[in-house]
Amino acid sequence: RHSVHVVIGGYKEEEKGAAFGIESYLFDLGLTNADIFWYRRINELEPLSPSINGPCGIRMHERLLLPNLGRDAAAFLDHVLEVYQNPPKMLVYLHGHAAIGWHTSCAAVFGRTAYYYR
């Protein structure tokens, strides 16, 4: 089990493209051997994407969380309950719209994550 988990409270399909996939900006965080969990809350009939092996031992996984209640908090709570008995040393929670929004920036997300990762 890896000691860093990044949990993405995703929602919209177009958000998935920015965060889930081999071209994901999340690989640029530099979190060696991290597990990244993308929580999808739509399209329940679509099969889950297979896990992706990224650079530096990073693994990306897709999870399905239905019904779509609770927005990002539901994904965060689900993950905490899943790892409660054996939590990673570091948990990073991010919105599905990537680190771009009126309330956050890539610089802030990358800087804070790198600081706590040290």
> What is the residue-level pLDDT of the chain in tens, covering all 118 positions?
468 999 988 765 555 555 566 667 778 778 889 998 988 877 778 888 889 898 889 898 988 887 767 778 888 899 999 999 999 999 988 877 666 666 666 777 777 787 777 7
pLDDT of residue 84: 94
pLDDT of residue 99: 60
The letter for the amino acid at 67 is: P
CA atoms of 117 and 96, how far apart (whole Å): 21
For 114, other C-beta atoms within 10 Å of its C-beta total 12
- Strand pairing report for 90-95 and 4-9: parallel
pLDDT of residue 4: 92
pLDDT of residue 12: 58
CA atoms of 63 and 76, how far apart (whole Å): 12
Per DSSP, 49 falls in state: P
CA atoms of 79 and 35, how far apart (whole Å): 12
pLDDT of residue 93: 86
Helix (H, G, I), strand (E, B) or coil at 104: strand
